Amino acid sequence: MRTSALLALFTGATCIALSPIWVRVSEVGPTASAFWRVALAVPLLWLLQGLANQRQAPIDRKHARLLLAAGAAFAGDLAFWHWSIKFTSVANSTLLANLASIFVTLAVWLVWRQRPSGVFLAGLATALAGVGMLVRTSLEFSPTALLGDALGVVTAMFYAWYLLSVKDVRDLGIATVRLMAVTTTITTVFLLPVALVSGEALLPETTIGWLKLVGLAWISHSAGQGLIAYALAHLPAAFSSVSLLFQPVMAAVFAWILLGEPLVALQVAGGVVVLIGIYLARRGSS
């Protein structure tokens, strides 16, 4: 197992785990921060694409449709997740967003009639039990936390759609950096009008506010997604999928240290149960 790929995997997961922290402390609204997350990343990603200097086939209509679907799905993912982070705890919103892998298998089951294994169904039941524990915690946390949890589940649905679209695009041979550059640009186009009509504060008031958005775009989005994409190309799929569960754990740790967000016993137990469920589901669908 390559040490550099392993380091990239955990570093990338840590970078992404910082994203809810940037969102929580941002000077702009949730939809606006989702927009700036991708808008500020676009120039950097296209620069990296140019530096890659790889010969690539032109994008045809089939590629374009899949890339459009991936960009729309990612826009929904970011918009709902950023609102989830505002309403519920960072730990809950991140854990629930990671249910995406379960929704991927459910979609394959319902659309392509590929029956899931018993291990997957056991993982699904376990994850749902953990979600119930998280929801119980949210009911005691604040009046808005339950809404935030629901938005976290919707986030997972959109991210599952994004993952399925990206898989189809990668199967057609589009390189990772090019894929990220194109889909991030499309996501920006989708999120701009939504941010404009949201009525939220769109522009940070301070230089620190802009630096937070740059951190969200360059560290969490560009570096985090890029490092994970590199790692996934050099590590066994089963190991990588399990190791990425490191992300919600780190997000909860960052929220505890940087935001003073407490973790109660039932929430910790529910988080562990959700992670076990996701682990089993991924094992059962691999």
The DSSP symbol for 233 reads T
Taking only the tens place, the pLDDT of each residue in 187-214 is 999 999 999 999 898 999 999 999 999 9
- What distance in Å separates the CA atoms of residue 47 and residue 41, rounded to the nearest whole number? 10
The two tokens of residue 133 are 């524990």
Confidence of residue 226 (pLDDT cuts 50, 70, 90): confident
Exposed (0-12), middle (13-18) or buried (19+): which is 2, by Cβ within 10 Å? exposed
pTM as predicted: 0.86
Within 10 A of 236 (CB to CB), how many other CB atoms are there? 12
3 state SS for 56-107: CCCCCHHHHHHHHHHHHHHHHHHHHHHHHHHHCCHHHHHHHHCCHHHHHHHH
- On whether the CB atoms of residues 91 and 255 are closer than 8 A, the answer is yes
Mean pLDDT, the chain, integer = 85
Say how far apart CA 35 and CA 80 lie, in whole Å. Answer: 12
Confidence label for 125 from pLDDT (cuts 50, 70 and 90): confident
Contact 28, 216 (CB under 8 A): no
pLDDT reported for residue 50: 82
- Residue 115 main-chain phi, psi, to 5 deg: -65, 130
d(CA 38, CA 61): 24
Whole-angstrom CA distances from 112 to 104, 106, 183 are: 11, 10, 25
Proportion of the chain above pLDDT 70, given as a percent: 91
Q: What are phi and psi of 174, to 5 degrees?
A: -80, 130
Task: Locate all alpha helices (DSSP H) within 172-264, ordered by sequence.
Answer: 176-197, 207-214, 224-232, 237-243, 246-258
Q: Summarize pLDDT for 264-276 with one digit per residue, the tens.
A: 888 889 989 988 8
CA angle 195, 196, 198 (to 5 degrees): 60
Q: What is the pLDDT of residues 152-174, one digit of tens each?
A: 999 999 988 888 887 777 776 77
Residue 235 token pair:
């590590």
Tell me which DSSP letter residue 244 carries.
T
Is the model's pLDDT at 238 over the cut of 60?
A: no
Chain segment 9-62, per-residue pLDDT in tens: 889 889 999 999 999 999 999 999 999 999 999 999 999 888 876 666 667 777
